[in-house]
Structure 1
Amino acid sequence: MIDLGKFNVLGINVSAIDYESAVQQVVEAGRKGEPLAVTALAVHGVMTGVGDREHQYRLNQFDLVCPDGQPVRWALNRLYGCGLSDRVYGPNLTLKICEAAAAAGVSIFLFGATQEMLDGFAENLGAQFPKLQIAGKRASKFRHLTVAERDELAAEIRSSGAGICFVGLGCPRQEVFAYEMRERVSMPMIAVGAAFAFHAGKLAQAPPWMQRLGLEWLFRFTREPKRLWKRYATTNPAFVSLFALQKLRLYKRHPEAGVKPQSDVLFG
């Protein structure tokens, strides 16, 4: 079990952690009813914080920022010698948390995506983990919520009896949601993005060899070129360039350089 703490990658404090430690912390917090904000960031997720000082602040308030992408893991290893042998991939983390939650008797809540996707996700989780209790699920409205709607949703999640809430709204909306709702629901909020689509059978995952080589972005690009071309054409080169400059000590951005958001209009 590995948890070496957090390390500055382009101004974002990323957790040098493995699956076992992340799962243990999430399930323990869920069992105790304690708030915990968790996300798994690939290159795009890190760069959302680099390009937005308020979002940098949000990400650096998270309890766990897992290295979802291989380049993020490589950055931890090459900048700080962390020696991580594997990333903590959001879709895999989701299944490992569900397995441990089922064994511990901690129920879950699913928030985000469409009703069809949620139903497929819940059905597949139930088939894979028969003892897993799904206390509730709510599809996204795909718009900004009013304060009353936010409070109603928080009350629904709390009253469901769930100990852990998975959030699938896409990056960075899911991180904003987890940041804003953590204290309101007093349970682990796990921002896992595409895990909903993957495990509902709506989106194909890259072959293992592409994942190992850090080429998952290429696989996803071939599936959704119109939606993803701009993201990968800008964020990937920017990450590599800034990482090289940080390695050479020519780029220094302190995690405390973020600006606390004055208010958030919650998307949900």
Structure 2
Amino acid sequence: MTDPAHGFDSYDVLGVPVTVTTPTLTAEAIERWSHDEIGRFVCLRDVASLMAIRDDPDIAPLHRDASVVTPDGRPLAELGKRRGLPVEQTSGYDLFEAVCARSPRSGLKHYVYGGEEGVAQDLAQVMRTRYPGISIVGVETPPMGEPAPREAEFTRQRILASGADVVWVGLSSPRQDVWMWRNHTGLPQTLIGIGAAFDFHTGRKQRAPRIVRVMMLEWLYRLLAEPKRLWRRYLVMLPRFVWLSLLDKGRRKNRERSGDAPAQ
């Protein structure tokens, strides 16, 4: 299924249109979008965040308005590959690296929005050290909780005045997704919700080793690191996802046997 507005194919995962993309292809699209004045947002979906947003009828429609919904988690990428699609895991960590590494040449200007106190400033310093010549035009840590309308408008005006091309949003999901959904029409930038990547890139948290990610056990690594915060995400939502995916696979096979072409 192709999105005519953005030129990407997508495949359905429990009603969510996951984009057929890679870190490089997404980075290239973000660079192209910097040449127009259209506000867009990019969601990065792992199993837990997909289930959380899918289960909430008030925010579930946001995926349809996103320009890209990347397979942040390897299981989502593997589902696409098993359908014969040229998709790669496109995590917040990897997309951030892909875009920033190209920025000294592409000239993209960046705004860092989110994280706990001091994290956004540390991330900006990491970016300047790791990618000499990168342009960072704004750094902001929002207060906890829902901002007052006046405060939200001040934030929008600061981002608008900065001249940024990309706004990196680290508010955790689904808060960051809702924030981008509400604000993308009033801003000309591309908003990208990368959540925990703020902490990974600043060294506050350790990303799972590559072999763990390849084995699709990153969820277990994170659960063991933060059991009190993440137990429900991985011990409740993950089994539900597996069960619903198996049911969906069965329905697809039934449609194939009956001669109906399944939607990707």
**Deviation per CA, 1:121-143, whole angstroms, max 9, x where unpaired?**
11111111011111001102011
Match of 1:54 in 2: 58
Match of 1:137 in 2: 139
Match of 1:22 in 2: 26
Counterpart Cα distance in 2 of 1:21 and 1:77: 16
Match of 2:10 among 6, 9, 21: 6
Q: Which moved more, 1:32-41 or 1:20-29?
A: 32-41
Counterparts of 1:221-260 in structure 2, within 5 Å, are 221-249=223-251
Judge conservation of contact 1:115–1:138 (CA < 8 Å) in 2.
no
- Report the CA distance between 1:4 and its aligned residue: 5.2
**Deviation per CA, 1:71-91, whole angstroms, max 9, x where unpaired?**
11122223x32143x311111
Counterpart Cα distance in 2 of 1:169 and 1:57: 19
**Deviation per CA, 1:186-218, whole angstroms, max 9, x where unpaired?**
110001111111111101000000111111111
Match of 1:95 among 94, 97, 104: 97
Counterpart Cα distance in 1 of 2:168 and 2:8: 24
Counterpart Cα distance in 2 of 1:95 and 1:140: 23
Flag the 1:107–1:4 CA change in 2: closer, same or farther, 3 A.
Answer: closer
Match of 1:72 in 2: 76
Secondary structure of 1:115 counterpart: coil
> Which sections of structure 2, spanning at least 5 residues, go unmatched?
1-6, 254-264
Counterpart Cα distance in 1 of 2:50 and 2:152: 26
Q: Structure 1 residue 171 and structure 2 residue 162: aligned?
A: no
Match of 2:43 among 39, 45, 64: 39
Match of 1:81 in 2: 84
**Deviation per CA, 1:28-78, whole angstroms, max 9, x where unpaired?**
212433312101111011102321122210122101000010111122223
Amino acid at match of 1:171: S
- Report the CA distance between 1:118 and its aligned residue: 1.2
Amino acid at match of 2:85: C
Q: Percent identity?
A: 27
Judge conservation of contact 1:58–1:176 (CA < 8 Å) in 2.
yes
Amino acid at match of 2:69: V
Amino acid at match of 1:71: P
Structure 1 segments (4+ residues) deviating >3 Å = none
Match of 1:261 in 2: none
Match of 1:157 in 2: 159
TM-score scaled by structure 2? 0.89
Counterpart Cα distance in 2 of 1:216 and 1:68: 11
Counterpart Cα distance in 2 of 1:229 and 1:63: 31
Flag the 1:4–1:63 CA change in 2: closer, same or farther, 3 A.
Answer: closer
Secondary structure of 1:249 counterpart: helix
TM-score scaled by structure 1? 0.88
Match of 2:122 among 120, 123, 131: 120
Judge conservation of contact 2:53–2:59 (CA < 8 Å) in 1.
yes
Counterpart Cα distance in 1 of 2:103 and 2:59: 30
Judge conservation of contact 2:123–2:202 (CA < 8 Å) in 1.
yes
CA RMSD between the two structures:
1.6
Name the structure, 1 or 2, with higher relative contact order (CA <8 Å, separation 6+): 1
Match of 1:254 in 2: none
Amino acid at match of 1:185: L
- Report the CA distance between 1:250 and its aligned residue: 7.3
Amino acid at match of 2:241: F
Secondary structure of 1:190 counterpart: strand
Judge conservation of contact 2:108–2:165 (CA < 8 Å) in 1.
yes
